[in-house]
Amino acid sequence: MKFIVSSTYLLKRLQVLGGVINSNNTLPILDNFLFDLDKNQLTVSASDLETTISSVLEVESDSEGAIAVPARLLLDTVKTFPEQPLTFVVENNNTIEISSNHGKYALAYADGAEFPKAVELANPSATTIMGDILASAITKTIFAAGNDDLRPVMSGVFFQFSPESLTFVATDAHKLVKYQRTDVHASEVAEFIMPKKPLNLLKGILAGSESEVKIEYNESNAKFSFDNTELICRLIDGKYPNYEAVIPKENPNQLLISRSQILSSVRRVSIFSNKTTHQIRLKIAGAELNISAEDVDYSNKAEERLSCSYQGDDMQIGFNSRFLVEMLNNLSSDEVSLEMSLPNRAGILTPADGLDEGELVTMLVMPVMLNS
């Protein structure tokens, strides 16, 4: 088995695939990349059993074979080369030799047959979406997903497909984000919960991508195919909570304010908030928003006044500043709208501008009880 490949081309693909490999694997074979050569096509795969990602590379070769190569060692080596052709030759003594312009490097390899096979999806449903739209949907929602192992369904992003729109939802019970695209459609109704790790990988690979992504899914697995790359992952089992029920429908109090202004205010004021609750108080009267925080234990307090556009009754409401900062950071609009009904009901944050045609973003943040 012998092939020749460009060092930078190989490195680019290996860095993408390497993201799936865990630092401590239960099976030693998972510390490797699987190289599966079929003439001038080399398929490189990496897996952590839950998620498998593979990419097809064009190489110069007329041989065949499959071997598992130590991932860390190979990545660290290929990283150091300037652009040049690298020749890989499998020797008889269970090593693969890499020849560069300046030297030779031998790595021990394992039998490719030991590498776990990727799942084949039986009778999948399919939907196609642009790569940058999918990356943007993941970016806008994934930060709101929970980290609670006891509630695994809330530790992923909920995909809801229908002929009208695609909806992506994430929540950790304190905050919730619903991202909807009415300009993209699925042929049939379907819903599934994607775990965070494969989504983070997709987000990194697809940011700014112009290519189409084909999503195939069944009860237990989903497969994403684009640009000679395939990612297959196991879905989170369980029923997603009824998120529509927690979004308050009647919100007569509406605040419109510059996103960057409120974001920097909340950041500054929250430095003076209680270190366990991170509580800040929003007091709205007329066209003035008053943001304050106090840490009674240390006699620290801060207060800022901002002008805003407000329709509704004067009110005071408390939020956890960390959730508010996270949400404002994940919006890209110039102005944001905060809709509220009562101080003990969730506030709804939406971008007032800067959205694409057919793009809807709704963020919901639960209030905290104010100690008067």
pLDDT tens digits along 82-137: 999 999 999 888 999 999 999 999 999 999 999 999 999 998 999 999 999 999 99
pLDDT of residue 105: 96
Cα dihedral sign, 32-38-39-44: negative
Please give the backbone phi and psi of residue 190, each rounded to the nearest 5 degrees, phi first: -155, 155
Give yes or no: residues 191 and 153 share one domain.
Answer: yes
Instruction: Give the end of a domain, one of 188, 221, 244.
Output: 244
Give yes or no: residues 83 and 161 share one domain.
Answer: no
Q: Is 143 within the bounds of a domain?
A: yes
Give yes or no: residues 284 and 359 share one domain.
Answer: yes
SS3 (DSSP) at 318: strand
pLDDT of residue 370: 83
Give yes or no: residues 87 and 136 share one domain.
Answer: no
Q: Is 331 within the bounds of a domain?
A: yes
Give yes or no: residues 130 and 240 share one domain.
Answer: yes
Taking the chain, what is the end-to-end CA distance rounded to the nearest angstrom?
75
Tokens of 158: 């909920």
pLDDT of residue 336: 97
Phi-psi region of 278 (alpha: psi -120 to 50; beta: other; left: phi over 0): left
∠ CA 66-22-212, nearest 5°, is: 70
Distances in whole angstroms, Cα of residue 114 to Cα of each of 31, 69, 117, 282: 12, 12, 9, 59
Q: Is 120 within the bounds of a domain?
A: no
For residue 275, the enclosing domain spans 248-368
- Give me the number of domains the chain comprises: 3
Q: Is 166 within the bounds of a domain?
A: yes
pLDDT of residue 260: 97
Give yes or no: residues 217 and 142 share one domain.
Answer: yes
Percentage of the chain surpassing pLDDT 90? 94
Q: Looking at the predicted structure, is the pLDDT value of residue 259 above 70?
A: yes
Instruction: Give the end of a domain, one of 200, 218, 244.
Output: 244
Q: Is 119 within the bounds of a domain?
A: no
Q: Is 65 within the bounds of a domain?
A: yes
Residue 261 belongs to a domain with what CATH number?
3.10.150.10
Instruction: Give the end of a domain, one of 212, 244, 276.
Output: 244
Q: Using CA atoms, how far apart are residues 264 and 80, in angstroms rounded to an integer? A: 41
Give yes or no: residues 226 and 253 share one domain.
Answer: no
pLDDT of residue 372: 60
C-beta separation of 306 from 288 below 8 A: yes
Give yes or no: residues 184 and 99 share one domain.
Answer: no
If you average pLDDT over every residue of the chain, what do you get?
A: 95
SS3 (DSSP) at 238: coil
Give yes or no: residues 274 and 216 share one domain.
Answer: no
CA dihedral 62, 67, 73, 78 (to 10 degrees): 20
Give yes or no: residues 193 and 275 share one domain.
Answer: no
Give yes or no: residues 303 and 286 share one domain.
Answer: yes
Q: Is 61 within the bounds of a domain?
A: yes
- Global pTM? 0.92
Closest to 35 (Cα-Cα) out of 9, 12, 2 = 2
pLDDT tens track for 177-218: 999 999 999 989 999 999 999 999 999 999 888 999 999 999
Cβ density class 111-141: b for 16+ within 10 Å, e for less: ebeebeebeebeeebebebbbebbbbbbbbb
Q: Is 142 within the bounds of a domain?
A: yes
SS3 (DSSP) at 230: strand
Give yes or no: residues 236 and 263 share one domain.
Answer: no
